[in-house]
């Protein structure tokens, strides 16, 4: 699991939260100790509940040690010394429930209202939001009973269902069934803690651009910028968790590839490739967020071989061609109402430069952030700035994590959807 820049605890939506981790019988259970450890490091209080099959796959002792709490098994459910049933105690204790992996059996029990294990009865008793990450063999995942149960789960209040990814499974099958990676589980849980489970983007299609572009002089040298792609990818993933179908066109990213799960990704490198991808996708989507940090110029002369530095200096002196303003182009050529969010990374007086840029680009919303303030801009876990639009509106956005910020921007964009 790659480590992204970490949020300070005072801005982390997971810090201080009581997270109940419910683990059921799928081999993906072996990944949960990593998640529990990461949650504790982020300041969450964690308790783990295992089904008998889960306890055969992952060590309750390891989970107790990593969560700094005793681990709960079916044998603990009923005790003549406990004044209240354990499943009710735990259900009421939790602020959030992470149900991962969710097996076919536990899903079936939950959907049909059966409470015949500690975890099953806890799921019926809890009123906390639940992130449910399914994992199972491909054929089981595709079987009509499981498919019907999964569909029914989408209608449950307070549940954020996270479908499995495709890949090579432990049963040697290739296909859908792999549990979302631990880093995506943590992201989705942070999303549940900061935004909730409402799918207000359901049935909508959003196009997001993210990351830097590169303009090449030759096979070894290029001009680019320090964008990691984090803001755009988080915006895309947040929209997906809110139900959107998301197309993500992205330059070279510096972040965990698991954050792309569930998105339709189109990797590009140059401004021209970004332009081609955006113009092709534009007619198919209902809204656009242009978070890509587009390199503004490309060298006029591009070599197929690697020239020596004198030849390169001569080529640089030969000049630069502007990369067209893609955001302004998307605004100009939309044929139907299609809200567009732009970004502006500025140094110095952010707001006055942002106002001018907002007018120049013609987009409906523009988020402008400083790049010369600690904790804001490129490669940071947090950001702050101003949201301009719609119209004359200007909102100051105080420092917050980039995922909560993505949710604020998505809510503003969602209000403009036709
Ligand atoms: N943008 C774009 N095409 C470009 C440059 C930028 O679509 N050639 C988009 C970015 O994706 C972002 C917004 O325009 O949404 C503002 O990017 P920024 O680099 O701040 O704007 P520039 O027009 O390049 O202005 P500056 O002169 O400040 O670099």
Residues within 6 Å of ligand 1 by CB? 290, 292, 294, 296, 323, 325-327, 342-345
- 115 token code pair: 């409470």
Q: Where in the chain is the domain with CATH 3.40.50.1950?
A: 9-194
Please give the distance, rounded to the nearest whole angstrom, from the Cα atom of residue 379 to the centre of ligand 1: 18
Residue pointed to by tokens 């801009």: 377
- 202 token code pair: 């359901």
- 147 token code pair: 């498919």
- Residues contacting 140, CB < 8 A, separation 6+: 104, 146, 177
Measured from the Cα of 327, ligand 1's closest atom is 7
Q: Where in the chain is the domain with CATH 3.40.50.10300?
A: 205-414
Residues forming the active site: 171
- Phi/psi region, residue 348 (left: phi>0; alpha: psi -120 to 50; beta: rest), is left
CA dist list (Å): 140 to 6, 68, 114, 179: 37, 35, 20, 14
Q: What is the chain's pLDDT, residue by residue, as a tens digit (418 residues)?
A: 556 678 999 999 999 999 999 999 999 999 999 999 999 999 999 999 999 999 999 999 999 999 999 999 999 999 999 999 999 999 999 999 999 999 999 999 999 999 999 999 999 999 999 999 999 999 999 999 999 999 999 999 999 999 999 988 888 888 999 999 999 999 999 999 999 999 999 999 999 999 999 999 999 999 999 999 999 999 999 999 999 999 999 999 999 999 999 999 999 999 999 999 999 999 999 999 999 999 999 999 889 999 999 988 888 888 899 999 999 999 999 989 999 999 999 999 999 999 999 999 999 999 999 999 998 889 899 999 999 999 999 999 999 999 999 999 999 999 999 9
Estimate the crossing angle of helix 118-125 against helix 86-93, to 10 degrees.
Answer: 50
Structure confidence at residue 314 (pLDDT)? 85
Structure confidence at residue 3 (pLDDT)? 60
Please list the alpha-helical segments (H only) found in 157-210. Answer: 182-194
Which residue owns the Cα nearest ligand 1 atom 12? 343
Please give the distance, rounded to the nearest whole angstrom, from the Cα atom of residue 385 to the centre of ligand 1: 16
Which residue owns the Cα nearest ligand 1 atom 29? 296
Q: In a mutational test of the pocket of ligand 1, which residue from 214, 339, 344 has the highest number of ligand atoms less than 8 Å from its CB?
A: 344
Please give the distance, rounded to the nearest whole angstrom, from the Cα atom of residue 297 to the centre of ligand 1: 11
User: Is the sign of the CA dihedral 277, 281, 282, 286 positive or negative?
Assistant: negative
Structure confidence at residue 204 (pLDDT)? 98
Which residue owns the Cα nearest ligand 1 atom 16? 344
Structure confidence at residue 172 (pLDDT)? 87
Please give the distance, rounded to the nearest whole angstrom, from the Cα atom of residue 294 to the centre of ligand 1: 6
**Which pLDDT tens digit goes with each residue over 281-339?**
999 999 999 999 999 999 998 899 999 999 888 888 888 999 999 999 999 999 899 99
Measured from the Cα of 323, ligand 1's closest atom is 8
CB 310: neighbour CB atoms within 10 A?
A: 8
Which residue owns the Cα nearest ligand 1 atom 9? 327
Residues 284/289/293/294 CA torsion (nearest 10 deg): 40
Superfamily of domain 205-414: CoaB-like (3.40.50.10300)
**pTM of the entire predicted model:** 0.96
Superfamily of domain 9-194: Flavin prenyltransferase-like (3.40.50.1950)
């Amino acid at each position: 699991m790659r480590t992204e820049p970490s949020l300070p605890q005072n801005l982390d939506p997971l810090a201080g939260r009581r997270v109940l981790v419910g683990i059921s019988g799928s081999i993906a259970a072996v990944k949960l100790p990593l998640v529990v450890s990461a949650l504790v490091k982020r300041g969450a209080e964690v308790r783990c509940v295992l089904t008998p099959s889960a306890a055969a796959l992952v060590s309750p002792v390891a989970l107790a040690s990593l969560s700094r709490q005793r681990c709960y098994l079916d044998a603990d459910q009923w005790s003549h010394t406990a004044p209240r049933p354990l499943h009710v105690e735990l259900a009421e204790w939790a602020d959030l429930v992470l149900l991962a992996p969710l097996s076919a059996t536990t899903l079936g029990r939950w959907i049909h209202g059966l409470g015949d294990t500690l975890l099953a009865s806890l799921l019926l008793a809890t009123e906390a939001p639940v992130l449910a990450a399914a994992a199972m063999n491909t054929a089981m995942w595709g079987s009509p009973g499981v498919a019907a149960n999964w569909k029914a789960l989408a209608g449950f209040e307070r549940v954020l269902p996270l479908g499995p990814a495709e890949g090579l499974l432990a049963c040697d099958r290739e296909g859908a069934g792999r549990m979302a990676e631990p880093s995506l589980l943590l992201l989705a849980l942070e999303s549940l803690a900061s935004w909730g489970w409402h799918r207000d983007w359901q049935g909508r299609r959003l196009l997001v651009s993210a990351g830097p572009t590169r303009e090449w002089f030759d096979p070894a040298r290029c001009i680019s910028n320090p964008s990691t792609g984090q803001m755009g990818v988080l915006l895309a993933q947040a929209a997906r968790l809110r139900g959107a179908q998301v197309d993500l066109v992205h330059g070279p990213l510096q972040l965990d590839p698991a954050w792309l799960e569930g998105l339709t990704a189109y990797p590009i490198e140059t401004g021209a490739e970004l332009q081609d991808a955006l113009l092709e996708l534009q007619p198919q989507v209902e809204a656009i967020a242009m978070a890509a940090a587009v390199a503004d110029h490309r060298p006029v002369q591009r070599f197929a071989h690697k020239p020596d530095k004198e030849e390169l200096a001569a080529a640089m002196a030969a000049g630069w061609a502007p990369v067209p303003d893609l955001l302004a182009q998307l605004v100009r050529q939309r044929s139907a109402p299609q809200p567009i969010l732009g970004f502006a990374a500025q140094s110095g007086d952010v707001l006055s430069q942002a106002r001018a840029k907002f007018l120049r680009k013609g987009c409906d919303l523009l988020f402008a952030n400083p790049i010369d303030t600690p904790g804001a801009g490129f490669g940071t876990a947090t950001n702050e700035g101003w949201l301009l639009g719609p119209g004359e509106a200007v909102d100051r956005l105080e420092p917050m994590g980039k995922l909560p910020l993505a949710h604020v921007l998505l809510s503003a964009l969602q209000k403009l959807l036709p």
